[in-house]
Amino acid sequence: MVPIRILAVLGALALPAAALAGGDDYDASADSEGKGPAYFGFVRDHRGVPVADARVVLQPKAGEAVVLKSNTLGLYRSHISKDVRPDDVAVSCDKAGYQQANVQRRQQANAANVEINCTLRRL
């Protein structure tokens, strides 16, 4: 007879990776050009520590905002539309107990992806 404790451990090992807390099931290789540029980056505090569950808002000048949450590594990634120019997208980040300190955009000319990192300062 196998002890219940061992069965619980074996059962936990059988879970798919996407079901584990803090897992990131986003697969960048599945991106298609039809979705438009990928907006991605990290949300960190002023010391460089990742901020999980921060709200990230991608707000185009015209159209609906895309609202995301950062994962346990502080990473976020999404698309808006192929019709939206990256220069027309404002990005903001927030979380209870923090205030936005800085947003840094890095984009190479003619790049398909836009990296935007947010820095939050603990209140």
For the chain, give every domain's residue range.
30-122
Q: What is the pTM of this model?
A: 0.71
pLDDT digits (tens, 9 = 90+) for 80-122: 988 888 889 999 999 999 999 999 998 776 667 899 999 999 9
80 pairs with which residues across the strands? none
pLDDT digits (tens, 9 = 90+) for 15-55: 333 333 334 444 555 555 567 888 999 999 999 999 999 99
User: Would you list the DSSP string of 9-78?
Assistant: HHHHHTS-GGGSTT-----GGG--GGG-PEEEEEEEETTS-B-TT-EEEEEESSS--EEEE--TTSEEEE
Architecture of domain 30-122 in CATH? Sandwich (2.60)
